[in-house]
Amino acid sequence: MLEKLTQLVNQARSELTAAQTSEQLEGWRLAYLGKKGALTLLLRNLGSLPADQRPEAGRVANEVKMTLESLYTARVEELRQGVLETELTRGALDVHLPGRPQQLGNLHISTQTLREIYAIFGRLGFDILRSPEVEDDYTNFQLLNIPQHHPARDMWSTFYTDLPGVILRTHTSPGQIYAMRKYYPQPFRVILPGKCYRYEQVSSRSEQMFYQVEAIAVGENITMSDLKGVLTYFARSMFGADRKVRLRPSYFPFTEPSAEVDIECFLCQGQGCPMCKHSGWLEILGSGMIHPQVLRNGGYDPDRYTGFALGMGPERIAILKHGITDIRYFFNNDMRFLQQFA
């Protein structure tokens, strides 16, 4: 019996060294330690030994079992290490190589400018409201005091659709109607940002899609000096402290009086330079006191309420602030342009 056990250990040891794969290892385990394995069979025969040999044989058999088990675990670990090592050399994985840098995106320059505008008006208590990009002629024009065939329509080249009366909005001003109808009869102030569309000949100065931000305030005691105060605060927040603001009489059908707003050129401090075409002033937006008919169309009685409105193009503002020479850069997705505003 003892002899058999010694023989078993030796044989097991050499077969184990020969085992290279996990299948071979498993085969070995079943052959020696499994329920029908060689060792189990030997142990089962212990009972047939003469009584005085049994204790010694039992002790040795147990030792053998433990030996085989620890040989087995050691071999498993050895093979695992071997596999790892060949993987490492063959795959030529250099764990010292620095990682590849993640490409980080950045906000679009229009988005950044929009957010600046939101923040400035936010500090003045203006909420943000959204209104539709697909409009009807009635809201985009007629409710804003621009009847069909009115010559002022020439200010907005319009994208029409196959559906009668359905157009893409040419400005954010129809948002004024939605805002008034939403808040009536409360006094309110909101900005209305969003995309606008015009059937333009695309050039360095005009695009067919661009953003606008409309601002509107309606209440019982709103005057033109409120408008001027908001404009001055806006211009100074956006373009630098003590910027001068100038209101130039103008015409829009939905405001009366209407004014175009210029800020003192921040490149030449109003001295005159190529950017301001030697005028010392940069035109940034249109504004005015809401026309009584437009107030009425929004539900507000013009005998009791007044209001101001203004509309600006964030791309125009970004062009001025960053010295961008061509509006087409904004939306043709050239990363070399967009990444400059990271």
Alpha carbon distance 305, 301 (integer Å): 6
- Contact region with ligand DAH (CB under 6 A), list: 12-20, 33-41, 127-135, 280-288: 280-288
Q: If binding is defined by CB under 6 A, does position 179 make contact with ligand DAH? A: no
Bridge-based pairing of strands 127-128 and 188-197 is parallel
Match 């049994």 to its residue by tokens: 54
CB of 105 to ligand DAH, least distance (A): 30
Among 244, 265, 248, 266, CA closest to 257? 248
The residue from 207, 214, 262, 264 that contacts ligand DAH (CB under 6 A) is: 214
Nearer to ligand DAH, 167 or 338 (CB): 167
Q: Which ranges of the chain would DSSP assign to H, the alpha helix?
A: 2-18, 22-32, 38-44, 54-91, 109-123, 137-140, 175-183, 224-239, 292-298, 314-322, 335-338
Alpha carbon distance 104, 173 (integer Å): 36
Alpha carbon distance 327, 312 (integer Å): 15
DSSP result, 81-103: HHHHHHHHHHHT--TTSPPPPP-
Question: How many chain residues touch ligand DAH (CB under 6 A)?
Answer: 12
Q: Token digits for 246?
A: 């100038």
Q: If binding is defined by CB under 6 A, does position 311 make contact with ligand DAH? A: yes
Site string for ligand DAH, 119-158 (x = CB under 6 A): ----------------------------------------
The residue from 173, 197, 243, 318 that contacts ligand DAH (CB under 6 A) is: 173
Among 57, 75, 63, 77, CA closest to 14? 75
- Contact region with ligand DAH (CB under 6 A), list: 32-40, 72-80, 81-89, 309-317: 309-317
Q: If binding is defined by CB under 6 A, does position 252 make contact with ligand DAH? A: yes
Q: If binding is defined by CB under 6 A, does position 110 make contact with ligand DAH? A: no
The residue from 113, 287, 297, 306 that contacts ligand DAH (CB under 6 A) is: 287
Name the phi and psi angles at 235, rounded to 5. Answer: -60, -40
The residue from 113, 131, 255, 306 that contacts ligand DAH (CB under 6 A) is: 255
Residue 201 has what DSSP assignment?
-
Q: If binding is defined by CB under 6 A, does position 218 make contact with ligand DAH? A: no
Prior bond of 98 cis (ω within 30°): no
Q: If binding is defined by CB under 6 A, does position 171 make contact with ligand DAH? A: yes
Match 């003892």 to its residue by tokens: 2
- Contact region with ligand DAH (CB under 6 A), list: 41-49, 56-64, 308-316, 320-328: 308-316
Among 48, 61, 72, 70, CA closest to 7? 61
Q: If binding is defined by CB under 6 A, does position 329 make contact with ligand DAH? A: no
Nearer to ligand DAH, 113 or 287 (CB): 287
**Helix (H) and strand (E) counts for the chain?**
11, 9
- Contact region with ligand DAH (CB under 6 A), list: 94-102, 182-190, 230-238, 252-260: 252-260
CA dihedral 89, 90, 93, 94 (to 10 degrees): 40
CB of 223 to ligand DAH, least distance (A): 15
Nearer to ligand DAH, 76 or 124 (CB): 124
* Interface positions with ligand DAH (CB under 6 A): 171, 173, 214, 252, 255, 258, 286-288, 309-311
